[in-house]
Amino acid sequence: MGGLLKATIFVCITLVSFHSSIALECLTCTWYSPSTNKECYDATPSLSSACPYPADFPVYCQTSMILHDGLLTSITRGCQLATGDQDLSSDVMPADDECVTSYTGTSDVTTATCYFSSGTNNSNTQVSANLKLCDIDCGPNGQCDYISGECACNTAFTGSNCTTGVAPDPESFMTCIQCDGDVTGASCETKTTGTNCPNPSHKFCSTTETTTYDPNGNEVRRVIVKGCETTYIATNQCAFSSRSDNLNVNDIEYTCISTCDTNNCNTWTPTGLTTVKQPLQCVICNSVDNANCKTETTRSYCPSSATYCDATVVYYLSENNDVRYQVDPYVSIISVTRGCATQPVTAQCTTTAVNDQPNLKKVTCQQTCLSDGCNVGWPARPLCSQCNSTLSTRCFQSPAPPSSCQQPYHEFCTIQDKNRNKYSDTSNTFGYRRTIVRGCSYNNIGNDCVDVNYGDVTLINCNKTCTTNNCNLGSVKDSATSLHHVSFTSLVALISAMMLVS
């Protein structure tokens, strides 16, 4: 667990005010040595941009500078969420500027990252002149604080170059939950009472969960250990490793570890999943103000109360009874709305009659979803692969990825496979060109195959109809039927497809 990463946090107290608003503006850019991005290096005011986060999220302007052995190698400026910054124990903007120094056991290079925080517009203007190199070598017992220009000594050392030893103050001992699941059993996972760490150099608490799996994925053993650490390891991270006891070389260990820096903070079990609260991003528009709302994909941040993205489309539909002339219905879209929501709705489309018109319907489709930018396309309608090709092209072997259909009434995904080998899914079609059409449909064209005779050669034309996302990938299953088993609508659609690709 230890030894891979050492981290010492030292702070130069600089009181700053906190401001959180969607109107906050920050300089936003990145400079790398030996980059020519001089504007970012010099903090040019023209680099200002508005922070995209909603007003109820704690956001501030930040400048971070990375130094390798005292040499400045990068500067990053931008908006920073307080819930996802370098301060592990707080969800507000840090009150102090600080540097974090780390180095690995296999490298002599010391890396320091210095953070400057401010809550006013375009205030992240710190430049290299804000950093101060130490005039003396801080030695093995300290590191240079590039904000104050003085040595920041490790615990139990003091002096200008950290060479004077001091007796540890009992008040400085960290308090962590300490137990070993191998000894105490399952109670270690739920233990919440901490005790003093054995050494004042222990500045972090940790929880480690190690699970052993056999080659079939069955759990063989699970152990949780909680304790004290001298070094920061990871906030919440999981990784695979070989089984340490070598009882079975085919077993693997999956180890998750979390490190925190406040007393008794190691109460929870790490999962490797981020715990940082980020605002949901949804497409937000309506067709009244935005004519492109039907195809809009630009995301915006939602208020913190929103946990869903939603989409609603309302349209008139005029069906056609004589599909010989017009297979698809006529449609007139009334409105499209996309946004953020606090409650889920069932994905569905409802239909109502319009006055006394027997062939005119009003359809309302709505849906909510949980992931960033998920409310694109038509609500309550599937995403379908859409392509038209011969066997040698991508539509057969590597079809186009599923996407939103062209019209809101397309409730089916389809495959129409023409001139296929009747007995196996091979390219041998006896010289006749095989084609495949994947797309969207208002009509259910069935799940059937029909024989097509070319003299002594018999091939088949097959249809597939489905209603879920991505369902028209792959090939049509063999299920040959005679022609009279195919519905009239299916036959018309099949003939249309043949005409399209012939």
pLDDT in tens, 56-87: 788 999 999 999 888 899 999 999 998 888 87
Range in 148-157, 262-271, 474-483 the model is least confident about = 474-483
> What's CA 333's distance to the chain center, in Å?
33
Pairing of strands 175-176, 204-213: unpaired
Do 176 and 227 form a contact (C-beta atoms < 8 A)?
yes
> In angstroms, rounded to a whole number, what is the distance separating the alpha carbons of residues 226 and 176?
8
Residue 34 φ/ψ, nearest 5 degrees: -100, 55
- Give per-residue pLDDT as tens, 353-369: 998 888 899 999 999 99
CATH 2.10.60 fits 175-260, yes or no: yes
pLDDT band at 175; cut points 50, 70, 90: very high
Nearest to 336 by CA among 268, 400, 287, 381: 287
Q: Is the confidence at residue 450, as pLDDT, over 70? A: yes
Do 203 and 261 form a contact (C-beta atoms < 8 A)?
yes
Token pair in block for residue 196: 């003093």
pLDDT at 16: 33
- Domain spanning 281-369, CATH architecture: Ribbon (2.10)
Peptide bond into 34 cis (omega under 30): yes
Residue 60 φ/ψ, nearest 5 degrees: -150, 170
Peptide bond into 399 cis (omega under 30): no
Where in the chain are the domains?
A: 6-131, 175-260, 281-369, 387-501
Fold equal for 175-260 and 281-369: yes
Give the end-to-end CA distance of the chain in Å, rounded to a whole number.
66
Range in 38-42, 290-294, 391-395, 415-419 the model is least confident about = 391-395
SS3 250: coil
Token pair in block for residue 86: 């370098």
Identify the H or E element spanning 186: none
pLDDT band at 172; cut points 50, 70, 90: confident
> In angstroms, rounded to a whole number, what is the distance separating the alpha carbons of residues 104 and 449?
64
Buried b or exposed e, range 464-491, using 16+ CB within 10 angstroms: bbbeeeebbbeebeeebeeeeebeebbb
Who has greater pLDDT, 406 or 3? 406
Do 486 and 459 form a contact (C-beta atoms < 8 A)?
no
SS3 115: strand
Mean pLDDT of 117-129: 94
Q: Name the CA radius of gyration of the chain, rounded.
A: 32
Distant-in-sequence, close-in-space partners of 424: CB < 8 Å, separation ≥ 6: none
Do 17 and 119 form a contact (C-beta atoms < 8 A)?
yes
- Give per-residue pLDDT as tens, 253-280: 899 998 888 889 999 888 887 656 678 9
DSSP bridge partners of 224: 209
Nearest to 294 by CA among 402, 223, 375: 375
> In angstroms, rounded to a whole number, what is the distance separating the alpha carbons of residues 413 and 439?
6
Cα dihedral sign, 235-236-238-243 = positive
> In angstroms, rounded to a whole number, what is the distance separating the alpha carbons of residues 412 and 3?
57
Percent above pLDDT 90 for the chain: 42
DSSP bridge partners of 65: 75, 114
- Give per-residue pLDDT as tens, 399-441: 889 999 999 999 999 999 988 777 665 556 677 888 889 999 9
Mean pLDDT of 220-246: 81
SS3 328: coil
Token pair in block for residue 366: 């709505």
> In angstroms, rounded to a whole number, what is the distance separating the alpha carbons of residues 172 and 196?
10
Write down the mean pLDDT value for the chain.
82
Mean pLDDT of 126-146: 89
Do 480 and 417 form a contact (C-beta atoms < 8 A)?
no
State the Cα torsion 371-377-378-382 to the nearest 10°.
-80
Nearest to 63 by CA among 10, 26, 102, 32: 26
Nearest to 231 by CA among 177, 155, 133, 139: 155
> In angstroms, rounded to a whole number, what is the distance separating the alpha carbons of residues 431 and 409?
38
CATH number of the 6-131 domain: 2.10.60
Buried b or exposed e, range 253-279, using 16+ CB within 10 angstroms: bbbbbbbbbebebbbeebeeeeeeeeb
Buried b or exposed e, range 308-321, using 16+ CB within 10 angstroms: bbbbbbbbbbeeee
At residue 73's C-alpha, the angle toward residues 70 and 78, to 5°, is: 120
pLDDT at 202: 85
> In angstroms, rounded to a whole number, what is the distance separating the alpha carbons of residues 275 and 141?
34
Do 309 and 373 form a contact (C-beta atoms < 8 A)?
yes
